[in-house]
A and B are shown apart, each in its own frame.
Chain A
Amino acid sequence: MFFIQAIITIWQREVIRYLRDKIRIISTLFQPIMFLFIFGMGLQETLAGGNFSMDFIQFMYPGIIAINVMGVAFFSTISTVWDREFGFLKEILVAPVSRTAIVLGKVLGATTVAVLQALILLIIAPFISVNLSFIIVLKLFFSMALLAFSISCLSLLIASLMTTMESFGLLMQVLIFPMFFLSGAFFPLKNVPLWMTVLSKINPLTYGVDAFRQIILGPQVSAEVINSVALHSVSTNTLFLIIFSFIMVTIAVLTFDRNS
């Protein structure tokens, strides 16, 4: 029982911190909107001449949401390293609380923050003629939580291996940006070179983007159009993310326990 209470306590701190930081809430919205409109509008013109069968901004929209989920989940958790360098983590580590509860509290906190932030992005939908129904939002909510959870676990795993913020720049370059760009958010992953296919297959974000896209756009474009960009069925994507989350949370708990 105390195990659950400890998770809630740690989770609550993450959520309070998020809600209190209005500037972060707004600035985190800025990047996806910028991606969507600059990339989207820029490429839409270029692609208009080709045989791309979709409105490009609509095509990118679910991917941008997924990237946002990943970014927020990742950064909220990696802040554990800041906590380590500047003390607060010590306060948590010295408390008589199971290490598993600490990991779960942190990861669920980041998941909540990432989902809240992503839900705000749904406000854009009407402006780009994307119709959302209650069912869509519900399905999306579930997929977002799953993606956010798995990425937070991955991030916590990295955070427990990293001791200082110094390697952070490197991490951005070799992990985060490639995961963003090879996720299918910016261009369809059909007819790409083999190496790219391989990399995108091991990228968890790919499965999130693919699921979000089918959930959001499936109901409003023809099956033929959606199939021309979709990689797997929504249930395959979901299954992958569940398995990935499960593996990640296990490794994260073990690593965190050993390294703290």
Chain B
Amino acid sequence: MNIIEVKNLTKEFNGLTAVDQVSFNVKKGEIFGFLGPNGAGKSTVINMLSTLLAPTKGEALVNNFNILSQKNDVRKSIGLVFQDSSLDDRLTAEENLRFHAKLYQVPMADYKRRMEEVLKLVDLWDRKKDIIKIFSGGMKRRLEIARGLIHYPKMLFLDEPTLGLDPQTRNHLWEYILKLKKEQQMTIFMTTHYMNEAEYCDRIGIIDYGKIVVLDTPANLKKQVGGDIISMKGQDNQSLKKELVKRYKREVKEENGFLQLEVENGEEFMPRLFNELDNKIDSIELRKPTLDDVFLSLTGRTIRDEKGTFKDRMRGHMGIRGPK
């Protein structure tokens, strides 16, 4: 059963097509991920599905409600953690949660218990009386996740949820997300440009320039890139490249000054290289395929900036807000 059905969704911003005829479904109870570089259109899709932005063309159903004609029902069905901080930094952590709970009509009898539950989950229970202004970027992020959960949404959107979190918190959060999925049957739609995070997903859509390039399970995607990847740097890359192509009749890609060769069994192939090549090799590395490679093989580019743009990092870490 599908909880999200998207057909030919398109968004144009004054001539720029940010999302281009995107169609996909999300199954109930799965973790669905969008992976793509900065500006690919991930947040724009989320904004449309969460009724914040009207699509230029196309249609979508969320929890069987139309995002254009049944906005309020869509809103009731979803929880959302935005890419940018959207807390009120003059209020305390608890007040932010209470505001949210009231707007989502969480019964006040349940509120106390749920607030404790979500705050403990993100390790902010003992900070509940503190004003957000003094929170660190990571603490704000965690509070936002707690807030997105307090009304027990059927469908949770996480737009780069772990941006600006330390590895420990990130792991902790993932444990929880996986638990939610299992215990609450919650469906999760997340975006990321961390390749390793995408691997937690049941299915991943790789999105680039507003289009879904491919959509499959992480395992299938990796199968698609085929074998292991040997990545090497020669004393003279051009001549090494020529020799590799000639000798092994394989495609050689160049990336950041490294030549990449796809082989079936890297462990056995490497010694062959050393024996057979005339060119000198300065450094060599064997990698089993990751989603990074999937992206590279599909688009010819890497998701360059794993840490996000400067602006994102500033937002994530420092939680920049406007002067009041």
Give A contacts to B, CB under 8 Å: 2, 5-6, 9, 13, 16-17, 20-21, 79, 82, 85-98, 165
Residues of A within 8 A of B3 (CB): none
Of B72-80, B200-208, B240-248, the segment with at least 4 beta carbons within 8 Å of chain A is B72-80
Chain B nearest Cβ from A75, distance in angstroms: 11
Question: Which residues of chain A are within 8 angstroms of B99 by Cβ–Cβ distance?
Answer: 9, 13
Tell me the smallest distance from the CB of A159 to a CB of chain B, in Å: 14
Output the nearest chain B residue to A85 by Cβ-Cβ distance: B322
CB proximity of A208 to chain B, nearest CB, Å: 26
Determine the main DSSP class of A at the interface with B: helix
B103 at the interface (CB under 8 A from A): yes
Contact among B72, B86, B320, B321 with A90 in the assembled complex (CB-CB below 8 Å) = B86
Chain B contacts for A92, CB-based, 8 A: 103
- Please name all residues of chain A whose beta carbon is closer than 8 Å to the beta carbon of B76 when the two chains form the complex: 96
Q: Mark B104-122, 1 if CB is under 8 A from A, else 0.
A: 1100000000000000000
Pick from B88-96, B170-178, B181-189 the stretch touching chain A. B88-96
Chain A contacts for B90, CB-based, 8 A: 16-17, 20-21
Return the contact of A86 from the options B80, B95, B321 (Cβ within 8 A). B321
> Chain B interface (Cβ within 8 Å of chain A)?
50-52, 72-73, 75-76, 78, 80, 82, 84-88, 90-91, 95, 99-100, 102-105, 320-322, 324
Output the least CB separation between B208 and chain A (Å): 25
Please provide the 8 A-B residue pairs with the shortest distance between their CB atoms, ordered closest to farther. A87-B86, A96-B75, A95-B103, A96-B76, A9-B102, A91-B86, A86-B322, A82-B322
Cβ contacts under 8 Å, B75 to chain A: 94-97
Please state if A94 and B88 are interface contacts (CB–CB under 8 Å). no
**Contact A5/B95 with A88-B88, A90-B86 known, Cβ cut-off 8 Å:** no
B91 touches A16 (CB 8 A): yes
Identify whether the interface residues of B are mostly helix, strand, loop, or mixed. loop
Q: A17-B91, A90-B82 are in contact. Are A79 and B324 (CB under 8 A)?
A: yes
Determine whether the beta carbon of A95 is less than 8 Å from that of B52.
Answer: no
Interface pairs (28), CB distance under 8 Å: A2-B105, A6-B102, A9-B102, A9-B103, A13-B88, A13-B91, A13-B99, A17-B90, A17-B91, A20-B90, A82-B324, A85-B322, A86-B85, A86-B320, A87-B86, A88-B87, A90-B52, A91-B87, A91-B88, A94-B51, A94-B78, A95-B100, A95-B103, A96-B72, A96-B76, A96-B103, A96-B104, A97-B103
A97 to B102, CA, bound (A): 10
B107 to chain A, nearest CB (A): 12
Q: Which residues of A contact B105 (CB under 8 A)?
A: 2, 96
Residues of A within 8 A of B100 (CB): 91, 95
CB closest chain-A residue, reference B96: A91
Of chain B, the residue at the smallest CB distance from A165 is: B322
Closest to A101 in B: B103
CA distance A96 to B95 in the complex (A): 19
Kindly list chain A residues whose C-beta atoms are within 8 Å of the C-beta of B80.
94
